Amino acid sequence: MNAGKGHLVLSLTLLLVLACNADDDGGLRKNFYKKSCPQAEKLVRDITWSKAQADPTLGAKLLRVHYHDCFVRGCDGSVLLDPVGTNQSEKNAVPNLTLAGFDVIDDIKKQVEQACPNTVSCADVLSLAARDAVSFPFKKPIWDVLMGRRDGNISLASNIPGNLPSPFADFSTLAQIFSKKGLNVNDLVVLSGAHTIGVAHCGTFSRRLYNFTGKGDADPSLNATYAASLRTQCPNPANPATTVEMDPQSSLSFDSHYFDILIENEGLFQSDAALLTNQGAAKVVQHLRSPDAFFSEFGKSMKKMGAIEVLTGTAGEIRKQCRVVNQS
């Protein structure tokens, strides 16, 4: 082969590599632990499934923790870190409210460490466990998880504002925060579909029920029948510990029903209702009422969310325990 041809082959290979990397995966890949810890994925799945069997709300918990992780400093496991000294970590911040499932992540990580020490990151464990917990009722993974994330060692409560949208956010605020994370309006609507499972505390929406515009009324964008039912569940003032299902009667079922209730003006948060206030977003809402469309789009958007500002290669570390950074 002459030098010219060699050059061409090299350039073509380089192009191919670049083209593959262009796929917005942040350098993550499938089967990342195939050589270093071949049992990792199955181990995480088996433990998660046994925990999900015992607690059918685990999927909602872990999915929300994964989302909070990715939106604050990227998917680097920083949400899992406990506060150190007087420094408040992400999990201490107000919007965390009741993030839960940390004990489950600890259990999984402990067993993964026993099988393959210093190999599988907490960020990957969280991403896999969230997928597996949500997938448990289907008895098969319902989206693909790319791996190779490494763990960060900074977690600051002060990083939350501006990175996690509030349930009172309007459409342009939501779109703006998602766009900062490389997620578009389609992703915003698709991922909001996660609210098809789980519960919310009265305080995250009760302002919509009472004196919303100062005329003793409810939020006009909230279905009046639904508002009346919510008022019985969340009297004014409500017990701060009371929760309601975000997708009534279907809150354990991961399905496209969220989009059906949304168009009946029964989205629980202002941020849910806001998806109908933009023409493009409202079109996506209609489209996602089809279960096939929802499942396929959810997988694609989760892949993007799971790649936000990830640490790969030699950046960050593989934490031994998810709650504390390694001591050097």
Applying CB under 6 A, the residues found at the interface with ligand HEM are: 57, 60-61, 63-64, 67, 97-98, 100, 165-167, 169, 174, 191-192, 194-195, 197-201, 204, 269, 271
Which of ligand NAG, ligand HEM, none has residue 265 at its interface (CB below 5 to 8 Å by kind)?
ligand NAG
The residue annotated as part of the active site, out of 66, 68, 195, 201, is 68
Query: Which among ligand HEM, ligand NAG, none contacts residue 84 (Cβ within 5 to 8 A by kind)?
Result: ligand NAG
Q: Is 214 in the site for ligand NAG (CB under 6 A)?
A: yes
- From 36, 50, 53, 87, residue interacting with ligand NAG (rule: CB under 6 A): 87
Does 115 participate in binding ligand NAG (rule CB under 6 A)?
no
- Which residue's beta carbon is nearest to the bound ligand NAG? 214
Question: Of ligand NAG, ligand HEM, none, which one does residue 264 interact with (CB within 5 to 8 Å by kind)?
Answer: ligand NAG
Residue 313 is a binding residue for ligand NAG (CB under 6 A): no
Question: Is 68 in the active site?
Answer: yes
Q: How near is the Cβ of 84 to ligand NAG at its closest, in Å?
A: 4
Closest to 199 in 3D by CA, of 66, 67, 61: 61
Residues that bind ligand NAG (CB under 6 A): 84-85, 87, 91-92, 94, 96, 99, 153, 156, 211, 214, 216, 223, 225-226, 264-265, 315-317, 325-326, 328
**Catalytic (active-site) positions:** 68
